[in-house]
Amino acid sequence: MRRLSCLCALALLPAAALAHDPYSYAQPDQVRVSHLDLDLDLDFSGKTLKGHATLDLDWRSRAAKTLVLDTRDLHIRQISAVGKDGRTTVLNYQLAKADPQLGSKLTIQTPQHPARIRIDYSTSPTASGLQWLSPAQTADHSQPFMFSQSESIHARSWVPLQDSPVVRFSYDAHIHAPSQIRVVMSAINDANHPLNGDFRFDQPRAIPSYLLAIAAGHIAVKTTGPRSAVYAEPGMDAKAAHEFEDTEKLIETAEHLYGPYRWGRYDLLVLPPSFPFGGMENPNMTFATPTIVVGDKNLVSVISHELAHSWSGNLVTNASWRDGWLNEGFTTYVQGRITEAVYGKALADEEDLIAIRELQQSLPSIPQNAQKLAPPPLPVTADDALSELAYTKGSWFLRFLEARYGRQVFDAYLRGYFDHFAFQSITTEQMLAYLKVHLYNAHPGRVQWSEIVAWVYGPGIPQDAPIPHSARFDAIDQARAGFLAGRLTATGLQAQGWNTQEWEYFLDGLPAHSPLQQLQALDAAWHLTGTPNAEIGVRWYSHAIAAGDKAVWPAAREQMTRIGRLILTLPIYSAFAATPEGKAYAEAAYQSHRDGYHPLTQQAIEHLLQRSQP
């Protein structure tokens, strides 16, 4: 009981006492960047961005003598203070030796507290936050392509800044590019902008650094609604526009639930297949993987998720990656509500159940401290600090609160939460302090505070956590059991009407090492090898490889080398790496396609192959 009392008090501590970011050198308590002005030349041949960044500074401490920024592999040419009259004064600076994870600390001598400084610099061709693709690595093979991925701490590899989510800034940018190349950023984009190599952007809303984004290439545009459009490589644009034709309906649904969409436009950029994630919630311009464009809208929940970030994450942001569940748990909950309203409760429940089962299976292998929504500092990188537990346990906690308080009460609370913390970066403790006043105290007797503490600071999942029910999944459980027991043939599964989530559920429930003959019969009946649906493919190939079916190896290799999305690639590599012959095959495949992967995907595959011991 004493520990619970301490945690309750912790929820009321001021944010300043809890917002330290171990993944940044910045000292935002002394000075904060309030605005960023970028002027960059985009050089495909050199794989670099070159120009200058001008930072507006808000000095918070009279005693401060330096400005400390985060960088990684940047080539600094000069740093100057910029006066009100535009005149510059060169400043002294020190660029520290690079740390493998954090990059190089940039310390600028600023005893006079300049209001603006200008940093002339260029990026490295190997910048961790940028991927440069040759024409051969794109869909139509006509133009090169470049895109960024700044989350978690990769913005520092292409802009010198305070690379911490606790710091928010507005920005504008002037990007110079080759003609016939379209440039887009995480700002308002003009679909009719001429491809003249001169692009200007304005993001008036204050955003954290991980939401700073840029992409450039042979990009076509299709309008999908009054405030949305799809940007994609020619050939993919029409398919994507059809897949995402419900975008306006999704926006209106979210607005009805949680208040106005405050970013103006919501456009989508469908990236080449090497993009390492399903989607990235960059303001005004979600970056999305082409693997969700399957023609049946079964995977459009990825877009529901990224749109939901316009409230939870972009509008109200975690102050540090330790608080990442405030972004991803809240967003996953909102995603489910959007999906339910637009596509029905059955689909939303199926998606929740798949996530719940995956978490239940993985929990025994997760250290106790890492099972907490707001854990103590853990010895992990920033990219590893945010796990699937933040998504699933976080949203599960909010569904628990919804069940106890009822939707009407909980929706009103959540809408008030987004309004109250709009355009702020907050800690778990600030969220709990607001919850205590506006939900717990306002509606007494429905939840014990010890239950809330157990969800947030305790390991595992409370025993009374609500679990949705799916009649379709019950039927699939029965069919799978009959198939595995030999009572039902593969053709007798009657799977012709299954959606993506139902195939995922069926395959996830197969034994880790299924009999080869049964899997071959399943493939013969339902033609899983070569499926264009990568969510189904990653599960199918993992099972078939584990069962020893070498006939699937070429198709499995095609998926894992064509697609750079981590969750659709790493499990196949892992299945191959379980045997000496399979590992050799996977290593050869990786070496032949390494340059087509994003740096984050390269790191993940190399780590997996290095630590695997077949």
CA distance 216 to 175: 10
**Residue in this structure with the two tokens 């660029």, named with its chain if needed:** 95
25, 121, 171, 391: which one is catalytic? Answer: 391
233, 306, 351, 402: which one is catalytic? Answer: 306
Please state the three-class secondary structure of 525-555 as a single string.
Answer: HHCCCCCCCHHHHHHHHHHHHHHCCHHHHHH
Could you tell me whether strands 104-109 and 93-95 are parallel, antiparallel, or unpaired per DSSP bridges? antiparallel
Cα separation of the two ends of the chain: 47
How big is the CA angle at 209 (ends 207 and 215), to the nearest 5 degrees?
95
**Residue in this structure with the two tokens 């499990």, named with its chain if needed:** 571
Nearest one of 285, 281, 277, 164 to 215, comparing CA atoms: 285
Is the CB of residue 103 less than 8 Å from the CB of residue 139? no
Is the CB of residue 240 less than 8 Å from the CB of residue 222? yes
Sign, CA dihedral 195-200-201-202, equals: negative
Number of Cβ atoms within 10 Å of the Cβ of 532:
11
Q: Is there a catalytic annotation at residue 306? A: yes
Classify residue 338 by burial, with Cβ atoms within 10 Å: 0-12, 13-18, 19+.
buried
305 is in an annotated binding site: yes
Q: Helix 516-526 and helix 534-547: axis angle, to 10°?
A: 150
**Residue in this structure with the two tokens 């644009």, named with its chain if needed:** 237
DSSP SS3 for 311: coil
Q: Is there a catalytic annotation at residue 585? A: no
* DSSP state string for 12-29: TS-GGGT---TT----TT
Annotated binding site for Zn(2+), which residues?
305, 309, 328
Q: What is the set of active-site residues?
A: 306, 391
